[in-house]
Amino acid sequence: MKKTVKLMLLTAIVFGVWSFTKTEKAIDNGYKVGDYVKDFKLENIDGKMVSMSDFEKAKGFIITFTCNTCPYAVAYEDRIEALNKMYEEKGYPVIAIMPNNVKVKPEDGMKYMRARAEEKGFTFPYLMDEGQRVYPQFGATKTSHIYVVKKTDKGNMVKYIGAIDDNYQNADEVKNKYVEDAVNALLNGKEVDVTETKAIGCSIKV
């Protein structure tokens, strides 16, 4: 019995260290504010491949790593949709990317993504990070995890990283709308005041 308990504790410690290390590695190797984002090509729910380069008239992007199954991500779905409706025509469309391993989270698979998008009436691309190649490049660790990027002559530059706002539980009680503030500043030719916040959500499943 004692051996079993010790083994369970050791396993928990090793798993905890591994998880922490993996998360820290993603953060260390991911994009920072001021970095240029490498373009990607991922499958959308309509079967078409989507890249940032497809949006020729865009001034930048609101990129969110999200999924169907995380309660935090679900709580933010309506606000993500609202962001797209607010900023797509102004040049900052939303691109949503589902980063989870579907073997671990089958309910985040493509057919479920399609069903969720139809149910919620998503007006933005909802892409599958097949092979989980893109989210580590960004350094995303949560669903949701937001990156606001601006098109420049040198490429798409990261201008904000973190949470959508400061209250995932109740949209009516939000005091700081981080993404809105960042995009509004960029549209007005100003610098973003708050460039990074802590992303709130479920860990990305690997």
Give me the tens of pLDDT residue by residue for the chain, a chain 206 residues long: 434 333 333 333 333 333 333 333 344 579 999 999 999 999 999 999 999 999 999 999 999 999 999 999 999 999 999 999 999 999 999 999 999 999 999 999 999 999 999 999 999 999 999 999 999 999 999 999 999 999 999 999 999 999 999 999 999 999 999 999 999 999 999 999 999 999 999 999 99
Contacts (Cβ under 8 Å, ≥6 apart) of 171:
78, 79, 165
Nearest to 55 by CA among 141, 121, 150: 150
- How high is the pLDDT of residue 28? 56
Q: Cα–Cα distance between 117 and 196 in angstroms, integer?
A: 28
| Per CATH, domain 32-203 is 3.40.30.10 | yes
Structure tokens at 183: 């995009």
Domain map (residue ranges) of the chain: 1-30, 32-203
pTM: 0.85
Q: How many Cα neighbours within 13 Å face the side chain of 2? A: 0
Q: Cα–Cα distance between 92 and 83 in angstroms, integer?
A: 9
pLDDT tens digit string along 49-91? 999 999 999 999 999 999 999 999 999 999 999 999 999 999 9
